[in-house]
Amino acid sequence: MIFTKTKIPGVFEIELETKADERGFFARTWCVSEFRAHGLNTKLIQCSLSFNTRKGTLRGMHYQAAPHAEAKIVRCTRGSIFDVIIDLRPHSPKFKDHVAIVLTADKRNMVYVPEGCAHGFLTLEDASEVFYQISELHNAASARGVRFDDPAFQISWPNRIEVISERDRNYENFLEQEQCHC
């Protein structure tokens, strides 16, 4: 696997190193020693799948607060998404900054989202499917979110948002004095 740092500490785009032959190719998508060598959380407890019928579907911006803060590995297994990670760690040099990475089934790239960062995406194609590997169990009492269009983050979404849940649409704007406690 090829780990590429982003401007947010601990966020990596991960690309596969394929070994091709006449059958096709083989590649690792997870290796505890490679993740550990990059200082990443290697605890995987839960995997989830998100299927999105329509292009323009927005999911996010979600995170879990401590003591259930979670790291995620996110991969688009069908279609493509505009994936966004916001750094909500108050002591981070990139606090309130975000990074966006296009994840596609064809490219087979992934993103590692560390604890303390909000995550969300916008589908770029109909029938996009997203696979998550997560370090913590879902805990409803710790589930949090910030607005996808909050001026504090200045995210420029590439396409019109066509589908969004009521919950995601109605998150409060982020307040600097609010702490993530991730």
C-alpha angle with apex 27: 25 to 32, nearest 5 degrees?
170
Residue 116's nearest CA partner among 61, 173, 171 is 61
Beta strands 80-87 and 117-123, pairing class: antiparallel
Catalytic residue among 38, 112, 132, 181: 132
Catalytic residue among 38, 62, 98, 171: 62
**Is 112 an annotated catalytic residue?**
no
Residue 2's nearest CA partner among 20, 21, 15 is 15
Name the residue with tokens 């998404």. 81
The dihedral formed by the CA atoms of 21, 30, 85 and 8, expressed in degrees to the nearest 10? -100
Produce one character per residue of 32-44: b if its CB has 16 or more CB atoms within 10 Å, e if not. Answer: eeebeeeebbeeb
**Is 63 an annotated catalytic residue?**
no
Residues known to be catalytic: 62, 132
